[in-house]
Amino acid sequence: MSFAGKNVLVTGGVGFIGSNLAIRLVKEGANVTLLDSMLDEYGANLFNIKDIKDDVCLNFSDMRDEHSLRYLVRDKEYIFNLAGQVSHQDSMREPFMDMEVNTRAQLTLLETCRHYAPDVVVVFSSTRQIYGHPQYLPVDEKHPLSPPDVNGINKLAAEHYHQLYTKVYGVRTVSLRLTNTYGPRQLIKNARQGFIGWFANRAVTGEQIQLFGTGEQVRDFNYVDDVVEAMCLAAVCEETYGDVFNLSGEKASLKEVAEMMLRFSGKGSLKIVPFPEERKKIDIGDFYGTSEKLAKAVGWSPKVSLKDGLERMIDYYMQYMDEYLDS
């Protein structure tokens, strides 16, 4: 598998996963275009691409802008569709904004590809949030879908759009349901990209990590390099087109994750606090999935252990803290 010489578009390319993917693609010799609306509150950070800024074409645009997309998708062989809003809390506070970003923008991209890049392959980053409260563990792709919040509903709609455009129009798409992805270049100045980024913030600044409930809630985690590998493998495997796959990782309790991060940073503290009501209503409790379906299709399995990944993450932010925290 190599993307050498391939024309690739990464939406959300200056954000967390997008920038890590872009670095991988540049190293492989791909012709990489990054599309980003540059909303720093949601993770866009030019420092993420400092090492490849001269090797990519960077377009500051909104994915809902049909005119920009018509230009950007032409001649592309692969599109990694990572742009989106991932905050569950924000989706409940601003549901129409979430719908615009996570549903309308996705449909705009697919419709543009149908007309101007019909032979492209689109890899869409979905979320395990669409399952809601698990009825059994580990969760597989046959599990009932019951999104607990606006974000999950809109992500599920986007998934259906991708599958529809494969079935009806022949646009080759694959959706990966991501779990808790973590690593370098993640948004840490607020909690909009999930609790693990905020835990990193507290650990590297020596502040207190607050755990809601008991802290014993179990989740699964994937280091960003493993996620990038899965996306690349899925993109070039015809067996994946038109389908959805879990991207599950190593299991651990939230307390175990927090304790490891504090140990690696050598500072900070931990406190168990009651669940805020607005969070309690949409919390899914224990959740971990299985990636057996993806493993059978493309041979993927995570390579970086949670311990090693968290250590790399904390080391990165200890070194580049000022680039990721508000001054």
Q: What is the pLDDT of residues 104-145, one digit of tens each?
A: 999 999 999 999 999 999 999 999 999 999 999 999 999 999
The H or E element containing residue 313 is: helix 306-320
Residue 84's pLDDT is what? 85
Domain holding 95: CATH number? Answer: 3.40.50.720
274 inside domain: no
Number of domains in the chain: 1
156 inside domain: yes
Distances (CA, A) of 313 to 17, 84, 154, 173, 320: 13, 23, 30, 31, 11
Written as one letter, the residue type at 312 is R
- Tell me the whole-structure pTM to 2 decimals: 0.95
Residue 78's pLDDT is what? 98
Which letter does DSSP use for residue 185 in this model? T
44 inside domain: yes
254 inside domain: no
318 inside domain: no
Q: Which residues contact 142 (CB under 8 A, 6 or more apart)?
A: none
Alpha-helical (H) ranges within 83-235 are 88-93, 95-99, 105-116, 150-169, 195-205, 224-235
Q: Which of 7, 27, 136, 143 is nearest to 79 (CA)?
A: 7
Query: In degrees rounded to 5, what are phi and psi of residue 2?
Result: -150, 140
Residue 40's pLDDT is what? 62
131 inside domain: yes
Residue 43's pLDDT is what? 78
Residue stretches of the chain with pLDDT short of 70: 40, 278-282, 327
Domain ranges, residue 228: 7-183+221-249+288-304
Angle, to 10 degrees, between the axis of helix 195-205 and the axis of helix 306-320?
60
228 inside domain: yes
Q: What is the pLDDT of residues 194-226, one digit of tens each?
A: 899 999 999 999 999 999 888 999 999 999 999
103 inside domain: yes
Residue 77's pLDDT is what? 98
Residue 146's pLDDT is what? 95
